[in-house]
Structure 1
Amino acid sequence: MQTLLVVDDHIIVRQGVKNLIENASNNSISVKECSGHEGLKLVRKGPYQAVLIGLTLTSIDPIELVKQIRDDKPGLPILVLCSVDEEQYYGRLFRAGVTGILTRESASDELLDAIKKLFSGGRYISPSLAEKMTGIPSDDDTSLMVTLSDREYEVMVSMVSGKRVKQIADEMSLSIKTVSTYHSRILQKLRLDNDAQLIRYAIEQGVIRDSIAAREKLLVSEFNIKTASLIQAIKEIWHQRKLVIIVIGILGIITYFVVYYLIKFVV
């Protein structure tokens, strides 16, 4: 009998998936279930022929869990259960080492087919997700998101959540210069010009919730940008004014000497 481990923090969800798979397979597949916090420990105890992970894990970052399992069990198939509107994670999931992605909207037959395909050494992507992934143009906002490395994505989430560079550097054990470099790369890869655009982008892509706090941060960021632009404009005007004063001063000196010598030679 083949065994599958279902990892999800919601007891009702994982028990429901367990019952669904066992019934659909006529009990030919044995399913164990656990929370995200227990996932890696049970994988190590094994043996399992595949692991099914819910992307809604809260006890641990699901992508981090995928990486840990992949490091510990390189050949173990990993299927991730996600929503069709979470396409910003597809690239990161595949880079982390998942073997397949299935939507929560999938029927029990598709779920069983996906698991069997993984058991036989294949890969699986829900047809609805495959269409969405292949249909994304190269300059689409979502495809730009998957160009970010995991570290860049972490920095971006921290920044748009309101954390300052020093705080991010301390939490991630990085230098302030390194965080600033990540910041520049993020803006460049996402084709954005400033933090206000980055926050707006993060809200639109579902990276952070569209909340009052997020809107306040957006307004503050836009205000800071406008203030910086105003200060720069004032500096330029002042710089130009100083140039005018210098030019007038030079012309005044030249005029003085011209008049002086004219008077001297005429008189």
Structure 2
Amino acid sequence: MKSVMIVDDHSAVRMGLKQLVEQIPNLEVIGEASTGEIAYDCYTKLMPDLVIIDLSMPGVGGVESIRKILSRKESPKIIVYTMHDEIIHVRKAMEAGASAYVLKSENVDDLILAIEKVMSSQRYLSEVVAQKLAIESVSEDILPIERLSAREYEVFCFLVKGMKVGEIAKLLAISSKTVATYQTQLKQKLHINSSVDLVIHAVKSGILSLEKQGNSL
């Protein structure tokens, strides 16, 4: 029997996912979490084989949660299950270590297939996401934000949310000096100097809609 943990800030979604997962032979849901912080704590205690996680959640978002969970020696398989189909989010999640990226807008059979693939040590992308990646791969247009490292991207999302350097440092458990360094680096890469420029880049990359909800990636 393989164990599963579900991470989503909506209880109805967690309930639905639990019912779906437990219909699959040899899978058992042993834990749930509504935020990235709780997810990490639950993972260290329960050590599930598979984590199904949303990207946009209060506090530490999905990308940072994936990175933290996979920093452990006994790392699980991770499936991102989200409504966000923007390529930048797909890239950052997969770079953080996710094994699959599934859209909530797709049929639930898509998630079941992703689970089967991932538990067989394969990768999986929803068809819509795979098509977008294929189109982008033949395009020479690369958004500047895609050049950010995983940590720079996380700091960028928090800055767009309006958080201060000290607040970000506390949330990510790193020093304010380190956050300030990431802030300088991302501004240089994006060629921005003001909060207005931050918002413009957030709109272009599809991040701003998440921040309006008070959630982070």
For normalisation by structure 2, the TM-score amounts to: 0.76
Distance 1:207 1:110, change over 3 A: closer
* Residues 93-113 of structure 1: per-residue CA shift (max 9 Å, x gap): 122211111111222222111
Q: Are the equivalent residues in 2 in contact too, given 1:14–1:34 (CA < 8 A)?
A: yes
1:139 has 2:141 as partner: yes
How far residue 68 of structure 1 moved from its aligned partner, in angstroms, is: 1.8
Q: Are the equivalent residues in 1 in contact too, given 2:22–2:29 (CA < 8 A)?
A: yes
Residue 129 (structure 1) aligns with:
129
The CA distance in 2 between the partners of 1:170 and 1:111, in whole Å, is 35
Residue 156 (structure 1) aligns with:
156
The CA distance in 1 between the partners of 2:204 and 2:167, in whole Å, is 28
Letter in 2 for 1:139: D
Distance 1:145 1:138, change over 3 A: farther
How far residue 12 of structure 1 moved from its aligned partner, in angstroms, is: 0.7
Count of residue pairs brought into register by the alignment: 202
Residue 168 (structure 1) aligns with:
165
How far residue 71 of structure 1 moved from its aligned partner, in angstroms, is: 1.4
Q: Are the equivalent residues in 2 in contact too, given 1:82–1:102 (CA < 8 A)?
A: yes
The CA distance in 1 between the partners of 2:39 and 2:89, in whole Å, is 20
Letter in 2 for 1:65: S
Q: Are the equivalent residues in 2 in contact too, given 1:89–1:146 (CA < 8 A)?
A: no
Alignment RMSD (CA, Å): 3.1
Letter in 1 for 2:50: A
1:8 has 2:8 as partner: yes
Distance 1:95 1:30, change over 3 A: same
The CA distance in 2 between the partners of 1:22 and 1:101, in whole Å, is 20
Letter in 2 for 1:148: L
Q: Are the equivalent residues in 1 in contact too, given 2:160–2:211 (CA < 8 A)?
A: no
Higher relative contact order (CA 8 A, sep 6+): 2
* Residues 109-167 of structure 1: per-residue CA shift (max 9 Å, x gap): 221111111111111111211111221224233xx32221233224434544556xxx5
Residue 29 (structure 2) aligns with:
31
The CA distance in 1 between the partners of 2:87 and 2:182, in whole Å, is 22
User: For the pair shown, which has the larger CA radius of gyration, 1 or 2?
Assistant: 1
Q: Are the equivalent residues in 2 in contact too, given 1:158–1:168 (CA < 8 A)?
A: no
Deviates more, 1:50-59 or 1:149-158: 149-158
How far residue 169 of structure 1 moved from its aligned partner, in angstroms, is: 6.2
Distance 1:104 1:41, change over 3 A: same
Q: Are the equivalent residues in 2 in contact too, given 1:15–1:33 (CA < 8 A)?
A: no
Residue 186 (structure 1) aligns with:
186
Residue 172 (structure 2) aligns with:
none
Structure 1, unpaired ranges of 5+? 213-267
The CA distance in 2 between the partners of 1:39 and 1:5, in whole Å, is 8
Higher helix share: 1
The CA distance in 1 between the partners of 2:153 and 2:22, in whole Å, is 37
Distance 1:33 1:75, change over 3 A: closer
The CA distance in 1 between the partners of 2:89 and 2:101, in whole Å, is 10
The CA distance in 2 between the partners of 1:33 and 1:182, in whole Å, is 34
The CA distance in 1 between the partners of 2:168 and 2:84, in whole Å, is 32
How far residue 14 of structure 1 moved from its aligned partner, in angstroms, is: 0.7
Structure 2, unpaired ranges of 5+? 170-174, 213-217
Letter in 2 for 1:41: D
Q: Are the equivalent residues in 2 in contact too, given 1:77–1:98 (CA < 8 A)?
A: yes
